[in-house]
Amino acid sequence: MSLVVAGLSHHTSDLALRERLAFPEEAVPKALMELRRDIDGAGAVILSTCNRSEIYAHHEMDPKALLAALRAFLARWHGLPDARFASALYGLSGREAVGHLFRVASSLDSLVVGEGQILGQVHDAYQVAHAEQATDKVINALFQKAFSVAKKIRDQSNIGAGKVSISSVAVDLAVSIFMDLAGKTVMVIGSGEMGELTLRSLVSRGVGHVIVANRSLENARFLAAPNDGEAIALDTIDEHLHRADIVISSTAAPGILLHADHFQRALRRRNSEPMFVIDIAVPRDIDPAVNAIDNVYLYDLDDLQEVAGRNMEARRAEVDRCLLMVDDGAEQFVKWLDSLAAEPTIKSLSAGLHAIRERELAKTLDALPGADAKTRAEIEYLTKRIVNNILQQPMTQLKHEVHRDDSGSVLQLVKRLFGLKEST
């Protein structure tokens, strides 16, 4: 029996290739059906995100043959010769495949280490496969263990502590100043991508009102509309600046747009209520001298990147400790997986001894025609206890022995000693 993963990720391929080998969400059930048709009896899960496309599979064929079958399926499904992606495709089996999934689910293999989204994506991929009846006993156990390891890492480490994107760092800093963003007004100056991302993050945290200022009033309306905001012309900022608790500036202007006197006038109209100002433009939109004004908290791109960098370094420092938890979880799972090899032999041994017990019990009871029902039941219970006690130590030791490299020879020896059939 083989447990494998075949796939590619941001570590091995560029975005263009990942797009070609991606599985759209709505196509995954059909893909699973065709995969199981091609590899009869396989248990499988397809995980497809913007950063990876992977197939986890379990089947009775040997690992090389199973990985070759998955590679052929990928080529056929996507209509792409395997030569186009062979160099980017990785194939892992056994413990390596187990450890890989545990690292993926725990966000140790992510583009941004410690991000929480991947665990939900792994869970959703498993749920789809399970609903389509594409999983088996081993795949079910594998993914349940992956969720358990990921939760342990999340609970017992700081791998997810501290935001590492510019927009999320900006939002956390805003919360540290205002505590609660509900009812606050944010003004976005310009229509840069980073400014838009930061605006979305702020809105998701409960910002009450949005003002968008742009040279083009049409562009301002385009950005403001999805957030139920208002659009203003860039040359009217001075008239509205006092209304903003949070200012995000992200224009392509060649020089400074807002000086210290703009904020001094705004503060007077605000009765010195604090303002949080994010300047993520290059070159900067806001005069650095603004930072010297009381109750104005100005952060530029360097400030935000420094915080994000410190957070990322803190996460990296946790990686080694998290990998130890992954290794421990993988060891536990592989031991369980190995023990499955002994199950047929254990069942056969148990059935054989109990068959002897039942045969001898029948002879004994026939020789005791005067025994009442209670006595007969106690004699039968006694024989069961004796056989089960005899079996306990061999079964425990046999499960332990299968973890050795020569597990096959151990099982064969047991079969020969007890006359067990090879087919069991």
pTM of the model: 0.67
Q: What is the pLDDT of residues 272-318, one digit of tens each?
A: 999 999 998 878 899 999 999 999 999 988 888 888 888 888 888 88
pLDDT at 424: 40
Q: How far is CA 291 from the centre of its chain?
A: 40
> Domain 2-156 falls in which CATH fold?
Beta Polymerase; domain 2 (3.30.460)
Q: What is the pLDDT of residues 77-128, one digit of tens each?
A: 999 999 999 999 999 999 999 999 999 999 999 877 887 789 999 999 999 9
Rounded Cα distance between 72 and 54, Å, is 14
Q: What is the DSSP letter of 227?
A: G
For residue 163, give the nearest of 276, 322, 275, 315 by alpha carbon: 315
The answer to whether residues 207 and 246 touch, using CB atoms and an 8 Å cutoff, is yes
Domain 166-307 part of CATH 3.40.50.720: yes
What average pLDDT does this structure show over 195-199?
A: 80
Distances 73 to 35, 265, 371 between C-alpha atoms, Å = 7, 66, 66
Residue 247 CB contacts under 8 Å (≥ 6 apart), including other chains: 186, 187, 189, 241, 275, 276, 277, 278
Q: In the chain, which residues fall in CATH 3.30.460.30?
A: 2-156
Residue with tokens 């991302």: 197
Measured distance between the N- and C-terminal CA atoms of the chain, rounded to whole angstroms: 15
The answer to whether residues 407 and 344 touch, using CB atoms and an 8 Å cutoff, is no
CB atoms under 10 Å from CB of 66, counted, come to 23
Residues with a known catalytic role: 50
Q: Is 391 exposed, middle or buried (0-12, 13-18, 19+ CB in 10 A)?
A: middle
Q: Is the pLDDT of residue 325 over 90?
A: yes
Please name every residue paired with 211 in a beta bridge, in sequence order, or none if there are none.
187, 230
pLDDT at 403: 64
Q: In the chain, which residues fall in CATH 3.40.50.720?
A: 166-307
Rounded Cα distance between 31 and 78, Å, is 10
